[in-house]
Amino acid sequence: MKTAQVKKIRVMVVDDHMIVREGVRVLLESQPDIEVVGEATNGEEAVARSSETKPDIVLMDITMPGMNGLEATQRIKQETPEIKILALTMHESDEYFFKVLEAGASGYFVKGGSSSELVSAVRAVQKGDVFLYPTMAKKLLSDYLQRVRSGQGVESYDGLTSREREIVKLIAEDLNNQEIAERLVLSPLTVQTHRANIMAKLGLHSRAELVKYAIKHGFITLDT
């Protein structure tokens, strides 16, 4: 009896440093559920090769000569919205973080993180979650709590808009981006952007944490 073959996560690695690309390739290809289908050294190559190889996920270095990772992310999401982008960066700053999410990325991984964290990030993004590097998630949550203690941002839960609250409820009810888009008559890319903004505002980096948040604040009940 033949064993069903598991569909591997197809990844393209984009970085202008060969040693980084080689290291990431070796790491990812050591995983039974991941394969590296291409590499690129800059933004222009990333856009062209993502169109050719159709990866599930692009690991995108942000700081590169020529077309940088932010611009390449925007181009790829415009041309092939179903491709997910996981940003790779040396920067642990709010400025880069929000720019990455606004460009359409589904995650933000800080170089220097552990191998196991990077693998977890790839798997989380493939499942449709937004991955926030733990130190960034902690920093965003700390900043938010500080604003709350000072009396700022208490008019609504975590500053979520009514549309974002609606999307939180649907995510917690286990709808994916395509299903949410159809329910709300939006494009999947718009839903992905909302989703990234929600995760950033809440300082969360997994759907499980979002479900806990939704229950705690009454967006859904345990019966739901």
Give the three-state DSSP class for 2.
coil
pLDDT value at position 149?
58
Give the whole-angstrom CA distance, residue 176 versus residue 191.
9
Give the whole-angstrom CA distance, residue 80 versus residue 74.
10
Band of pLDDT at residue 76, cut at 50, 70 and 90: very high
Distance of CA 40 to the CA centre of its chain: 20
Asked whether the predicted pLDDT for residue 134 surpasses 60, the reply is yes
Residue 37 sits in the same domain as residue 107: yes
Residue 224 lies in a domain: no
Among 204, 222, 114, 95, residue whose Cα is nearest residue 160: 204
Residue 14 sits in the same domain as residue 57: yes
Tens digits of residue pLDDT in 30-59? 999 999 999 999 999 999 999 999 999 999
pLDDT value at position 89?
84
Asked whether the predicted pLDDT for residue 224 surpasses 50, the reply is no
* Total tally of structural domains belonging to the chain: 2
pLDDT value at position 153?
46
Residue 221 lies in a domain: no
Give the whole-angstrom CA distance, residue 191 versus residue 203.
18
Residue linked to tokens 């329910």: 183
Asked whether the predicted pLDDT for residue 164 surpasses 70, the reply is yes
Residue 169 lies in a domain: yes
pTM above 0.85, yes or no: no
The mean per-residue pLDDT over the stretch 70-79 comes to: 91
Residue 41 sits in the same domain as residue 115: yes
Answer with the one of 98, 127, 156 that is the final residue of a domain: 127
Contact, 9 vs 106, CB < 8 A? no
Answer with the one of 127, 145, 176 that is the final residue of a domain: 127
Give the whole-angstrom CA distance, residue 6 versus residue 8.
6
Answer with the one of 71, 101, 127 that is the final residue of a domain: 127
